A and B are shown apart, each in its own frame.
Chain A
Amino acid sequence: MSFDKLLLALVFIPLGTALVAVMLPPARRRWAVLLGSLAWPCFLVPLSIAVAREQTLTLVFGGWSPPLGIGWRLDALALVVLWVHALVGIAALPGAWQRFKPEETESGPFWSLWLILATGVNLATLAADLFNLYVALELTTLAAVALIATDDGIAALSAAMRYLLLAVLGSLMYVLGVGLVYAQTGSLAMHQPGLVELNNVALVLMLTGLMVKAAIFPLHVWLPHAYSNAPGPVAAIMSAVVGKVALVALWRIWFETAVDPPTLLTNLLGLIGAGAIVYGALAAYLQPRLKMVIAYSSISQFGFLLLLLPLACQQAFQGAGFHLLAHGLAKAAMFLAAANIVTVLGSDSIRHLPGLDKRMPLEAFTLALAGVTLIGLPPSGGFTGKWMLLSAAWETGGWFWLVLIVLSGLMSAAYVFRILALTCFHPARRAVHHLHPKPPAITSLAALMLALLAVVIGLYPHPVLDLLGSGVLMDGGVRLQSGVPGAGP
């Protein structure tokens, strides 16, 4: 049988449930959303088997095959993104369930928006042409803006506003680039390497637009406030997949659509990644609030994903894909744990953290485990990704990148251990605050499961690596070969 039709489920289940949820009375709404959120990930299992066998699944609408018609496409990379989305989405549910009860006013729009965001993310992951991608990213952004604003308070509102303005600017640049491509080539299909040489202006416009959406330094300014003021489940899903979707789109355009991007641009993007790594880690070290630390850490970790562009070989691709997975799980775990901490302490100022390991041992443990992955200490998913990137850097003779990746571990260690030392060992640890009741244990356990998973995938990375290794970013395999000819030993 053909598995192609199952792709429909990934988009239409969340979309349909979102529409149904709007019509239901508030008390039933979250039950419908729960069902929808658990239903679509089930389809990932057969789809994974199919991708492992056939490498790519394509669904074409109306019988017009690309480049003329529009279609969806699922390959190994998309599958990894979808799995992160599914796992984090499920783990975020208990927190959201607790926070957005039917009797609270803000829960009204939340549940439908939650699934619309899921629809947008899945659609953007599957999109096989540039315009389809644009629509999906717009949907994602708008849903995310609205979700950030569900948190009452002026800070969340202004963060959402800032995000909206910048994201719209990014969309404009992106769509301008898409227009240029269409004018030049008459096609918008993404997986057609070598069709026509892309105009550099169009390429830069599209990349910049996507970088705004992915919050790549120095276009990250919306991210820290948006992540740190959003409700915990929203911050988790945003850091784990929303930014990554734009970044994956950037990879696809770079490796699958653009034929021969100039070396200058390659190196420039690599340096931007390096800047992001360093800046994000330093800023994270200086933040006075836990959620801000986690948010800036995301900026730093996103920088790694840009290093794929200069490294450009199969190992680097596996490493970057794995890093995306590990970071998504670990970061979401941290945001969910931080959300619980805010619930109990009423604040996430790091001055209030001492003694937390006594009151909330599961949260402290989650932060520690996820921190180990972020630093990339073995054995953890972060280490696996880092090791692959390092071997790629060694093989391609990229000494600069090698030293950068190695040193970045130290910088991450600085902010992770600062938080851990404060949480568990600070002398003022017996300070008493006014405490709110603890959220139910399942919210803590969900975060812990994600953090554990981020470590465990480092012990057993084969399925993911094999998947990523077989389906190299594009079918043509023109630019991402294993090893770069003429470099390395």
Chain B
Amino acid sequence: MIEPWLAQVLPPAVVLVSTLAAIVIFIAGEERQRLRIWVNLVAATLKLILVVWIGLSVLAGNEFLFRFELLPGLELILHADALSILFASLSAVLWLVTTVYAIAYLEHSPNRARFFGFFSLCVSATMGIAMAGNLLTLFIFYELLTLTTWPLVVHNGTPEALAAGRSYLRYTLAGGVVLLTALVWLYGLAGNAVFTPGGFLAPLAAEHATELRIIFAMLIAGFGVKAGLVPLHGWLPKAMVAPAPVSALLHAVAVVKAGAFGIIRTVEDVYGLELVAGLGMRLPLIAVACWTIIIGSLLALREHHLKRRLAYSTVSQVSYIVLGIAVGGLLATSGGMVHLVHQGLMKITLFFCAGIFGLLLGVSKIDQLDGLGRRMPWVSVAFTVAALGMIGLPPIVGFISKWYLASGALAVGMPAVLAVVITSALLNAAYFLPLVGRLWLGPPGSVAAARIEIGRLPRLALVCSALATAFLTVALGLMAAHPLSPLNWVIKIAEGYAP
């Protein structure tokens, strides 16, 4: 058993580790690079250790709960259940890798103190979302995430970056406003309720069915802005002007996943899928998810800018998570939730590679990828692995998500969903295979010389980060049967939700 005070202190500690790192980085200022690097790495490692500690402890049956009364009858709650651990460990692992990558990537660029400060704050907010124990806490950290990612999006300070920042704020703050309204309404109806597997609103359903429907729609719309549900996805491709590590983290962990995570919590822990179905909101949710999957892929197909194509691919892929949750049943729920981790690993690899191409060779368009496989074999291998995983090629992790989703759809008798998954896989192949083809088979030499020279060590760090995440996509795919693999972890969660 774990000491009671530890059970209270650890959840906020996980959140505050990177806040403290941010404060130190801000105070240390621009010039003290070594200190900054050390603080970054130590904090990221420490956070990973804490998350693993909590995760193993949760597995052993311990409970973590931190309560703080913010307003009368309104609590800030941080807790750790299996779902929190899933998201928190994803963030912790990828934060560590991205920190290494970002230190190397931003070697010579200005304003690094500001960048890494907000980078750490952004991870703090993500951790808060992961550990949130009720909707209010989730909302608070969700808004903090908006605040802390905006400086990262506009980091370059170019007119395009500022325009992207404005667009980002318009979408996310409007989403926040919708969420806040829904939250006030829900607290008025249900009081101060904590996340409960299976939801806590069922007793109200008879009397307030219409209100609950509207609130549900508002919650999904509010979280859907960050999750990139079509037509709320407009900010995402524009936000690609941010530096590559930001795009990577935004897409794989922080912003987009925060939205998806909010939807999972809403469906599973606030309403419960049964109530969602009872209110007649399940089919619309499935429809929105399917629509987003298909439209996102079509938009990606049309795009010739590398990072933007990846962005549209995110729009499409994140909705797999929503789809799995909405379809329900053990298999589909597991498939959707595990995609939270799997998509994160694959997408961060792709963005790492795109960032390396862009930084070292100035490549930003798809036709510039021709023949890069020979010039940068390791990076190209990582890119290829992740792209094939996205299409769903076994044994890479993407296959597992799709397999569980597809068989889950059949298990609950929804062949239409199966058709969507298959169509989407074909579309994924249609927009990822040409990239892979150009890398390895294209005529060499369309990009003349290296754009900038960076040292050996930073270069090694960049390439190794990409290889490490690419390796994970394969390793986790091969070891999916291991008791501590994301898949088994998720199945345990799903058993709690859909017995």
Do A and B pair up? The answer is: yes
Given the complex of chains A and B, what is the CA–CA distance between A461 and B188 in angstroms? Answer: 20
Query: In the complex, are the beta carbons of A427 and B188 less than 8 A apart?
Result: no
Query: In the complex, are the beta carbons of A391 and B177 less than 8 A apart?
Result: no
Q: What range describes how many residues of A lie at the interface?
A: 20 to 34
Residue in A395, A406, A461 whose beta carbon sits within 8 Å of that of B71 in the complex: A461
B72 at the interface (CB under 8 A from A): yes
Residue of B nearest to A391 (CB): B184
| A-chain residues with CB within 8 Å of residue B386 when the two chains form the complex | none
| B-chain residues with CB within 8 Å of residue A388 when the two chains form the complex | 71
Query: In the complex, are the beta carbons of A413 and B188 less than 8 A apart?
Result: no
Given the complex of chains A and B, what is the CA–CA distance between A465 and B173 in angstroms? Answer: 27
B324 to chain A, nearest CB (A): 30
B169 at the interface (CB under 8 A from A): yes
Residue of A nearest to B139 (CB): A378
Contact with B along A390-406 (1 / 0, CB 8 A): 11011100000011001
B189 at the interface (CB under 8 A from A): yes
Query: In the complex, are the beta carbons of B158 and A427 less than 8 A apart?
Result: yes
| A-chain residues with CB within 8 Å of residue B174 when the two chains form the complex | 410
A407 at the interface (CB under 8 A from B): yes
Given the complex of chains A and B, what is the CA–CA distance between A377 and B161 in angstroms? Answer: 23
- Known A-B contacts A378-B140, A421-B162; the reply to A372 vs B181 at CB < 8 A is no
Contact with B along A421-442 (1 / 0, CB 8 A): 1001111010000000000000
Contact with B along A118-141 (1 / 0, CB 8 A): 000000000000000000000000
Residue of B nearest to A315 (CB): B72
Query: In the complex, are the beta carbons of A413 and B181 less than 8 A apart?
Result: no
B185 at the interface (CB under 8 A from A): yes
Interface of A is mostly: helix
Query: In the complex, are the beta carbons of B158 and A406 less than 8 A apart?
Result: no
| A-chain residues with CB within 8 Å of residue B185 when the two chains form the complex | 394
Query: In the complex, are the beta carbons of A425 and B154 less than 8 A apart?
Result: yes
Given the complex of chains A and B, what is the CA–CA distance between A424 and B165 in angstroms? Answer: 13
Contact with A along B148-191 (1 / 0, CB 8 A): 00110011011101100110010001101100110011011100
- Known A-B contacts A403-B181, A421-B154; the reply to A395 vs B188 at CB < 8 A is yes
| A-chain residues with CB within 8 Å of residue B165 when the two chains form the complex | 421, 425
B372 to chain A, nearest CB (A): 31
B69 at the interface (CB under 8 A from A): yes
Query: In the complex, are the beta carbons of A425 and B70 less than 8 A apart?
Result: no
Contact with B along A173-199 (1 / 0, CB 8 A): 000000000000000000000000000
Query: In the complex, are the beta carbons of A391 and B188 less than 8 A apart?
Result: yes
B142 to chain A, nearest CB (A): 9
Q: Which residue among B162, B177, B185 has the maximum number of chain A CB atoms within 10 Å of its CB?
A: B177
B41 to chain A, nearest CB (A): 25
A43 at the interface (CB under 8 A from B): no
A384 to chain B, nearest CB (A): 6
Interface of B is mostly: helix
Query: In the complex, are the beta carbons of A465 and B147 less than 8 A apart?
Result: no
| A-chain residues with CB within 8 Å of residue B72 when the two chains form the complex | 462, 465, 469
Given the complex of chains A and B, what is the CA–CA distance between A379 and B76 in angstroms? Answer: 10
- Known A-B contacts A377-B147, A378-B139, A394-B188; the reply to A413 vs B169 at CB < 8 A is yes
Contact with B along A455-489 (1 / 0, CB 8 A): 00001011001000100000000000000000011
Query: In the complex, are the beta carbons of B184 and A387 less than 8 A apart?
Result: yes
Q: Which residue among A403, A427, A488 has the maximum number of chain B CB atoms within 10 Å of its CB?
A: A427
| A-chain residues with CB within 8 Å of residue B161 when the two chains form the complex | 425
Residue of A nearest to B155 (CB): A425
Residue in A390, A424, A488 whose beta carbon sits within 8 Å of that of B180 in the complex: A390
| A-chain residues with CB within 8 Å of residue B147 when the two chains form the complex | 372, 377
B74 at the interface (CB under 8 A from A): yes
A-B contacts, 28 of them at CB < 8 A, read: A377-B143, A377-B144, A378-B143, A384-B70, A391-B184, A394-B184, A394-B188, A403-B181, A406-B181, A407-B177, A409-B173, A409-B177, A410-B173, A410-B174, A417-B150, A421-B165, A424-B114, A424-B151, A425-B151, A425-B157, A425-B161, A427-B158, A427-B162, A429-B157, A461-B70, A462-B69, A465-B72, A488-B188
A residues bordering B, Cβ < 8 Å?
Answer: 357, 372, 377-379, 384, 387-388, 390-391, 393-395, 402-403, 406-407, 409-410, 413, 417, 421, 424-427, 429, 459, 461-462, 465, 469, 488-489
B residues bordering A, Cβ < 8 Å?
Answer: 69-72, 74, 114, 139-140, 143-144, 147, 150-151, 154-155, 157-159, 161-162, 165-166, 169, 173-174, 176-177, 180-181, 184-185, 187-189
- Known pairs A377-B143, A429-B157; list 20 more (Cβ under 8 Å): A377-B176, A378-B143, A384-B71, A387-B184, A388-B71, A391-B188, A402-B181, A409-B176, A417-B150, A421-B154, A421-B162, A424-B151, A425-B165, A427-B157, A427-B158, A427-B162, A461-B70, A461-B71, A462-B72, A489-B188
Q: Give the 8 A-B CB pairs with smallest separation, nearest first.
A: A378-B140, A394-B188, A425-B154, A390-B184, A425-B157, A406-B177, A377-B143, A406-B181
